[in-house]
Amino acid sequence: MPKDYSIIRTEDLTTVRFSKTISSDKIRNAIDDVAENSPTKLRLWDLTTVSYTLNAREIKILAEYGKSKPFPPSKVALIAPADWVFGLARMFEIYRKDQVAEHRVFRTEEEALVWLGIEENTQ
Q: What is the pLDDT of residues 66-123, one digit of tens each?
A: 999 988 889 999 999 989 889 989 999 999 988 788 999 999 999 999 999 997 654 4
| 101-106/13-18 β-pairing | unpaired
Tell me what pLDDT residue 66 has: 92
* pLDDT for the residue numbered 120: 62
77 within 8 A of 116, measured Cβ to Cβ = yes
pTM, rounded to two decimals: 0.88
Q: What is the pLDDT of residues 12-51, one digit of tens each?
A: 899 999 887 788 898 999 999 999 987 899 999 999 988 7
Strands of 1-123, DSSP E: 5-9, 13-18, 42-46, 74-79, 101-106
